[in-house]
Amino acid sequence: MSYRVNRFLILALLGGAISFSSFASKPKAIDIPYGLWEGIVESKHFYTLLELKQSGEHRLFKLNIKDGFRSGGAVDFTSDDIKCSEYECIIHHKNSERGGVVRLILGAPTRGAVEVMEIQSDIDNQRVDAQSYTLKRRVGSSTFKEHRGDWYPTEEKSEEIEQEGVYGLWLGIARWSNEPALIRLIHSADGPSQFKLYPLGPWDPLTSEFQQDQITLKGEDIWIRTEGSEKFGNEVVLSQKSADKLKGVSVSVPMSFTLFRSKFPL
* 71 and 168 co-located in one domain: no
Lowest mean pLDDT across 44-48, 102-106, 152-156: 152-156
Q: Do 126 and 160 have their domain in common?
A: no
Structural domain ending residue among the three candidates 138, 158, 193:
138
Range of the domain at 176: 147-261
For residues 233 and 162, give the distance between their C-alpha atoms in angstroms, rounded to a whole number: 26
101 against 58, higher pLDDT: 58
CATH code: domain of residue 92: 2.40.128
Give dist(CA 30, CA 59) in Å, integer: 20
Q: Can you give the pLDDT at residue 97?
A: 67
Residue 121 shares a structural domain with residue 209: no
**Beta strand 82-84 pairing with 72-78:** unpaired
| Res. 203 pLDDT band, cuts 50 70 90 | confident
Query: Does residue 203 share a domain with residue 157?
Result: yes
Task: Specify burial of residue 61 (Cβ count, 10 A radius: 0-12, 13-18, 19+).
Answer: buried
Between CA 98 and CA 121 the distance in angstroms is 8
Are residues 107 and 88 in contact, defined by beta-carbon separation less than 8 angstroms? yes
Please tell me the distance from the alpha carbon of residue 116 to that of residue 125, in angstroms, as a whole number.
20
Residue 160: per-residue pLDDT: 52
Mean pLDDT of 92-104: 80
Q: Note the pLDDT of residue 233.
A: 87
186 in the same domain as 94:
no
For the chain, the domain total comes to 2
Say whether both 250 and 151 belong to one domain: yes
Q: Residues near 125 by Cβ (< 8 Å), separated by ≥ 6?
A: 100, 101
**CB-CB contact of 265 with 191 (8 Å):** no
> Tens digits of per-residue pLDDT, 7-49?
444 445 445 433 334 544 445 789 899 999 999 999 999 999 9
Cα separation, 133 vs 62, whole angstroms? 13
**Whole-number pLDDT of residue 1:** 45
Positive or negative, the CA dihedral 40, 42, 47, 48 is negative
Residue 193 covered by a domain: yes
Same domain (yes/no): 10, 127: yes
Look at residue 3 and tell me whether its pLDDT is greater than 50. Answer: no
Find the radius of gyration of the CA atoms of the chain.
Answer: 20
Question: If phi over 0 gives left and psi between -120 and 50 gives alpha, with beta otherwise, what is residue 149?
Answer: alpha
Question: In this predicted model, which residue has the larger pLDDT, 97 or 109?
Answer: 109
pLDDT per position as a tens digit, 109-147: 999 999 999 998 888 777 788 999 999 999 989 999 888
Is the pTM higher than 0.75? The answer reads yes
- One domain for residues 32 and 55: yes
